[in-house]
Amino acid sequence: MKIMLILISLALLATSTISIASEEMEDEIIALYSFFDGNADDAAGHHPGELFGDASFVSEENTGPGLKLDGSGDYVRVGNVHQNPKRDLSQGSIEMWIRLESAPKDFVLAASGREYGGSWDDGFYLGTHSSYSKNLVFMIWAGGWKVADSGIAPEDLIGEWRHVMGTWGPRGMEIWVNGSLKGTNPHTGGLTNPNYATVLLGTDSWRSDTHGMIGGVVMWDDQRSFSDGGLERSEEVGHVGEKPKCADFDCREGAPCQSSGILPWPVVDYTDLGASSTDRNAAGPLLDPGRYTIWIGKRVSGEIGVSDDWKAYGPLTLKGGMSYLFDVYEGKLKPVEPEELSSMLDQVGSDQARLWYKRSTVNPYVVCVERVDAN
């Protein structure tokens, strides 16, 4: 895959979300808003967004540019993304990176329906709706709302970057948070109104405004999944937090910081990689199959194991019985045969995944790997 929202970018701490040329877009992408360049342009080239209220693009410490909403009349209008060109209504997905600053009983991250103030949503709905649940939900209108309930109270989402995704299609309806499936609904019907007025980001037609930041948004015309490999990708993610857990380490007394005894869960690997033009591949950990975020930071000069410029890649799916090589300079993960890493390696067992790193030829880097889907 060439994208991640998820923003791919879903989204970004010391870095951006997604920046992909239109000709490289996957066919299933309806619209993609990274906000990285300080605008609401659609990287897919069809549905540019328009800002309303005091919506603005801001950069904060350790955070790439994002859309800031004050919770009072701020939103982005992107039009009907299922027209011009026409798109499949029977299935789809919307994913986004968010960081809430408050959580009123009704707020909407994204919805399709009438214009702002038109008081009628008749498509998809991602947010909270106190008439149906106190939790974060994903809903589809079918003469009434069909609800996939995440079971997550919105106040639990305040203050940290989260990746959220709603999907509909042959598997029914699903709501995902940080790469984990949190709620479902068996309804398999698609969007019923192909001529809805617009998708609104950060609100809906009832003016249920969101207070916080959105790091990026991707809309698809197929049903995405984090469990079937459909979202395996190694592009830079969106805002996933201000820094990795292992950024709290003080490694100045030892080099590198690789002792498993000091790794705070969910950190599963932490290593310092010097630059090399010859011995490029460096051994990494054997991990349980699952989803991980790989954080990369240039080493602070003279301080082995220390970085103050973290970037995140993922979430990435590592499958059992597979070996992977992550290029710390390019930010790319690829499956490889064991002998490509070392002639001494055999195939890894089905209950483990092997992760190695490809060094930069120029700069030393610090690498931190965190488990995403662990409870």
Domains of the chain: 22-220 (2.60.120.200), 245-371 (no CATH)
Please, what sign has the CA dihedral across residues 265, 266, 268, 273?
Answer: negative
From residue 187, alpha-carbon distances to 110, 171, 198, 332 in Å are: 20, 8, 23, 37
Q: How many Å is the Cα radius of gyration of the chain? A: 21
When pLDDT is averaged across residues 255-260 and rounded to a whole number, the result is 45
Q: What is the pLDDT of residue 14?
A: 28
Please, what sign has the CA dihedral across residues 201, 207, 208, 209?
Answer: positive
Whether 93 has a pLDDT exceeding 70, the answer reads yes
Whether 63 has a pLDDT exceeding 60, the answer reads no
Q: What is the pLDDT of residue 290?
A: 87
Whether 17 has a pLDDT exceeding 90, the answer reads no
When pLDDT is averaged across residues 126-147 and rounded to a whole number, the result is 95
Contact assessment for residue 199 and residue 113, using Cβ atoms and an 8 Å cutoff: no
Q: What is the pLDDT of residue 252?
A: 47
Question: Please, which pLDDT band fits residue 77 given cuts at 50, 70 and 90?
Answer: very high
From residue 233, alpha-carbon distances to 4, 333, 371 in Å are: 6, 7, 16
Whether 147 has a pLDDT exceeding 70, the answer reads yes
Q: Where are the beta strands (DSSP E) in 221-289?
A: 267-273, 281-282, 286-287
The count of other CB atoms within 10 Å of the CB of residue 283 is 13
| Dist. CA 182–CA 213, nearest whole Å | 22
Question: What token pair was written down for 334?
Answer: 């690829």
Highest-confidence segment of 52-66, 145-159, 192-206, 350-364: 192-206
Question: Which residues have a Cβ under 8 Å from the Cβ of 223 and sit 6 or more positions away?
Answer: 91, 92, 93, 167, 168, 169, 170, 171, 174
Q: Average the pLDDT over each of 24-28, 76-80, 299-303 and give the range with the smallest value.
A: 24-28
When pLDDT is averaged across residues 141-169 and rounded to a whole number, the result is 92
Question: Please, which pLDDT band fits residue 80 given cuts at 50, 70 and 90?
Answer: very high
Provide the β-strand partners of residue 356.
Answer: 325
What is the β-pairing status of strands 353-358 and 322-327?
Answer: parallel
When pLDDT is averaged across residues 291-307 and rounded to a whole number, the result is 82
Q: What is the pLDDT of residue 60?
A: 63
Question: Please, which pLDDT band fits residue 228 given cuts at 50, 70 and 90?
Answer: very low
Contact assessment for residue 243 and residue 62, using Cβ atoms and an 8 Å cutoff: yes
Q: What is the pTM of this model?
A: 0.63
Contact assessment for residue 7 and residue 217, using Cβ atoms and an 8 Å cutoff: yes
Question: What token pair was written down for 141?
Answer: 């209108």
Whether 375 has a pLDDT exceeding 60, the answer reads no
When pLDDT is averaged across residues 233-244 and rounded to a whole number, the result is 48
Q: What is the pLDDT of residue 249?
A: 62
Whether 237 has a pLDDT exceeding 60, the answer reads no
Question: Which residues have a Cβ under 8 Å from the Cβ of 344 and sit 6 or more positions away?
Answer: none
